[in-house]
Structure 1
Amino acid sequence: ARDAQRFADWGVDFMKVDWCHTAGLRGRTTYPKWTEAIRATRRPMVLSICEWSRDKPWEWAGSVGHMWRTTSDIADTWASVMDIAARQADLHEYAGPDHWNDPDMLEVGNGGMSDEEYRTHFSLWAMLAAPLVAGNDVRAMSEGARAILTAPEVLAVDQDPRGSQARRVRRDDVSEVWARPLADGTHAVLLVNRGDARANVVARWDEVLDAKGSRRGNVRDLWERADVGERDGYYDRTLAPHACALVKVAFT
């Protein structure tokens, strides 16, 4: 309680409580003590729960904190990003306004991946409605990293007020498709090529909407910030290795 009050006195807005040196403790019984301590200060503070998913925080942390780590620490590698993304596929029902799954900070600009891979990383986190915490040195970053981190239409997906986390609606050997409904009635759809060769990736509207029947949709490319046009039943793109396409679809 004294620590929480000290942070409040300092004007702290965001508190991450890590899980180091906690032998013999459980997250679901320890973190509520921090919740009560913060409430007692009467200063609103975001509580970030970080026990690396050991106690399945998505099952209990929604009434305790505002965000919770869903995996162990991220690394600046393509394999790490895709492994973490895969672990979010069944967690969409637990996320929403003021209670978010946290797949860890962003690695954009740290040098371990290509800009193409960083765009896919950033797109996945945006689709997951993830808290976006820049993990690079923001004082000295490349123009490529800056363009990714400030892409307005991609950021708008992450910050959409409906707060729905994307579902993974299709996955095969080399590709996957994620979809999430947005507050304005449209859908964000992400096509990803996980493979090491160029691949055609298809997003089918019945899978995006989880409903049978033929549908047409007006498509906008959110990275290019350009309208693509109307597509009947599906949208497909041939993508470079580890690349993605992030689009917004208004169904008719």
Structure 2
Amino acid sequence: MVGRLPSEHKMHLKLLGALALSTSVVALNNGVARLPVLGYNTWNAYQCNIDQDLMLTTATLMKSLGLLDAGYHYVNIDDCYAEKNRTASGDIIPDKIRFPNITAMTDQIHALGFKTGIYSDSGWFTCAGYPGSFQNELRDATTFQNWGFDYLKYDNCAIPYDDIIRQGMVGKYQRMADALEQLAATSKKPPFIFSLCEWGWSQVWLWGKNFGHSWRVTGDIAPQWDSLAAIINFNSFITQGTDFYGHNDMDMLQLGNGGLTFDEAKSHWTAWALMKSPLLIGTNLSAITPDILGILKNTEILAINQDPVVGESISPFRWGINPDWTSNSSFPAQYWSGPTQSGTVFMLLNTLNEPATMFFNLTESPWIRAGIQYSVRDLWTHTNNGTAVRNFTATDVPAHGVVALLLKEAGNEPSGIFPACSVWFQCTDKNGTHVGG
């Protein structure tokens, strides 16, 4: 789908820019999830085919593969872990066959050094038909804490009738947010990390940070380039929604599940990491390849995702093959940048179906200073690639491939360069004449 944004969407983007100024004020700063969550979620690889042994095996594999050391600290169950009916007293109970002792399971996962996450729903039922938490929010939150969980993914299926719920989407999620806040106050334990799985239909990137630490911005991801491109395109207009304690969630990682080339997998993970999305692996780790593991363990890019000084996402500074601010779900923005504690990070995304040369003037990025030369670090080859003066060219970027760079100031640019301005048609001499080009 291709289209110029209508006037109401342009106004919406101006509003998002204003909101970005106050993100740190309104975000859910309750001591947890200041940075994006890294970990594992069962849904992509297993859906409902989960049990206690699988969770323990997965946690053990994550540790042996070095993923815990790389920062992937959460092992999360998704849907289908419970019995279909609550007890007579109203409690959710784990599936008696597949999760015979869920508390022992979380204890064992914690003993390996991880934290644990669980799933519920803001409606009557989960998306797979298990008990939801509507009208049982505090009861279920207490149960999850008693089982030993630290994180709650909260879905959006089986919404009650209007004359029962009498809430908009904000109020629907606030019910559980209030329960989690009450639980933290009474239990004196750290608050749950609260992940809203609302699919972005009610502009959750505007209000979600009042209640949760992350919020889904689109529908479900699929392991195809078209799905990734559409999610990147959508997120390119709402990057202002991400900062410390609150993150646009672009959905779980599809690396290693088939359907993506190696270059597409690199682009997928790079975009998610640099846009400060939560990074939740959804791969069968017993079959993971060294190439995919290498992507997941790129420590230079992970350091930017987990930057303790700068919390904001990268954003496009030029759309590339489309005019700026063009929404194109097949060919999203190509040129991105953002600040980090140690320089300016750039992502060049080749959305074309063939290799391409990608060129930009450094000062197109708002984070680059004119008149300065920059050292160039390639975050995928892990090499220092000389100094960039005024512009940079990446040649032969693979189809659907990515280049990730970290530029650091390396002194003033050499004297005598003509013209006197990198963007010559915007510069003027002090006597009023334009600088020649």
Structure 1 letter corresponding to 2:361: R
Runs of 4+ in 1 over 6 A off after TM superposition: none
Q: Any idea what the Cα deviations from partners look like across 1:109-152, whole Å, max 9, x if unmatched?
A: 11110111100111111110110000111232111111111111
* Partner in structure 1 of residue 318 of structure 2: 170
The alpha-carbon distance between structure 1 residues 11 and 203, as it changes in their structure 2 partners (threshold 3 A), is farther
1:1-252 aligned at under 5 Å gives the runs 1-22=138-159, 24=162, 26-42=168-184, 43=189, 44-161=191-308, 162-173=310-321, 176-184=334-342, 186-209=343-366, 213-238=370-395, 239-252=397-410
Q: Any idea what the Cα deviations from partners look like across 1:140-171, whole Å, max 9, x if unmatched?
A: 21111111111111211211121111111112
1:211: Cα distance to partner? 6.6
Select the structure that is richer in strand.
Answer: 1
Q: Please list every run of 5 or more consecutive structure 1 residues that lacks an aligned counterpart in the other structure.
A: none
Structure 2 letter corresponding to 1:242: H
1:192: Cα distance to partner? 1.1
1:214: Cα distance to partner? 4.0
- Quick check: which has more Rg, 1 or 2? 2
* SS of corresponding position for 2:277: coil
Kept in 1, the 8 Å contact 2:344–2:368? The answer is: no
* SS of corresponding position for 2:244: coil
Kept in 2, the 8 Å contact 1:61–1:68? The answer is: yes
Kept in 2, the 8 Å contact 1:108–1:118? The answer is: yes
Q: Any idea what the Cα deviations from partners look like across 1:41-84, whole Å, max 9, x if unmatched?
A: 22311100011001111111112000000111111000110110
TM-score, length-scaled by structure 2? 0.55
Kept in 1, the 8 Å contact 2:339–2:367? The answer is: no
* SS of corresponding position for 2:148: coil
Structure 2 letter corresponding to 1:172: G
Structure 2 letter corresponding to 1:176: Q
Aligned counterparts of 1:229 and 1:82: Cα–Cα separation in 2: 31
Aligned counterparts of 1:202 and 1:14: Cα–Cα separation in 2: 42
1:212: Cα distance to partner? 7.5
* SS of corresponding position for 2:285: coil
Aligned counterparts of 2:168 and 2:357: Cα–Cα separation in 1: 45
Q: Percent identity?
A: 28
1:203: Cα distance to partner? 3.2
Q: Please list every run of 5 or more consecutive structure 2 residues that lacks an aligned counterpart in the other structure.
A: 1-137, 322-330, 411-437
Kept in 2, the 8 Å contact 1:199–1:241? The answer is: yes
Kept in 2, the 8 Å contact 1:69–1:102? The answer is: yes
The alpha-carbon distance between structure 1 residues 180 and 65, as it changes in their structure 2 partners (threshold 3 A), is same
RMSD value over aligned CA atoms? Answer: 1.6
Structure 1 letter corresponding to 2:282: G
Number of residues of Structure 1 aligned to a counterpart in Structure 2: 251
The alpha-carbon distance between structure 1 residues 159 and 210, as it changes in their structure 2 partners (threshold 3 A), is closer
